[in-house]
Amino acid sequence: MNHQVNVYYKYCKEKENYIGDYHRYQRELADKILDYGLKEIFQIDGAEKVIERFSYGKPYLKGKEQCQFNISNTNGMVVCAIGDVEIGVDAEKKKSFRKAILKKCATSLERKYILDGQEAEQESRFFQLWTLKESYVKMTGEGLRIPLQEVAFTVAKEEAGENGIICSKAGNFYQYQEKEYWISLCAKEKVTVQWIPGV
């Protein structure tokens, strides 16, 4: 069976340029994107959806368990992935990060991969790996109960594994770089991914 996942991403106002509750603003945008995707893929009217959460907080549609979705937001962007397999999505805007965090979330090989380059490249590689790790823990529904060092990645250039991404955990990983953002998707099964801007 050929599974497809649509990953919708939308630029939005950045936090420093928004007056009001930024989290609420992004949540409302995410809800509109989700409604659009549910209608487009599953012909589900978003006004009728009922969202509930599993024990560790992963959302799902009540009575429509075949419709899987996951949402992520970062400063200036909202992302929603929708498909018919278990998925997790994460997006991050590249920015400076504290090097001390690497001891908590990265293996020694990952630290070498991140730190082997100029500062801008280090920032890009850190968030490349961070979003991959987050997409995995979001797909499982267990969140940060899984220590991030246990979700170890090797990134090669199309040399091994789908997209050159190898993980110590079971999952199928896909990435998209959009300007200064990394978007990562983890799916329980192999999927065809469509990256769809500006819904």
Domain boundaries, the chain: 3-197
Taking the C-alpha atoms of residue 197 and residue 116, their distance in angstroms, rounded to an integer, is 32
Q: What pTM was estimated for this model as a whole? A: 0.93
pLDDT at site 143: 72
pLDDT value at residue 146: 83
HSE-CB for 147 with a 13 A CA cutoff: 8
| Residues in a beta bridge with 172 | 187
Q: Which of the following CATH numbers is that of domain 3-197: 1.10.150.170, 3.10.450.50, 3.90.470.20, 2.60.40.3620? A: 3.90.470.20
Q: In the 8-state DSSP scheme, what is residue 91?
A: E
pLDDT at site 89: 98
Query: In 3-state terms, what secondary structure has residue 90?
Result: strand
Among 91, 77, 71, CA closest to 13: 77
- For residues 151 and 138, what is the distance between their CA atoms, to the nearest angstrom? 12
pLDDT tens digits along 58-94: 899 999 988 999 999 999 999 999 999 999 999 999 9
CB 186 within 8 A of CB 173: yes
Task: Look at residue 156 in the predicted model and tell me its pLDDT.
Answer: 76
Question: Quick one: what percent of the chain has pLDDT higher than 70?
Answer: 96
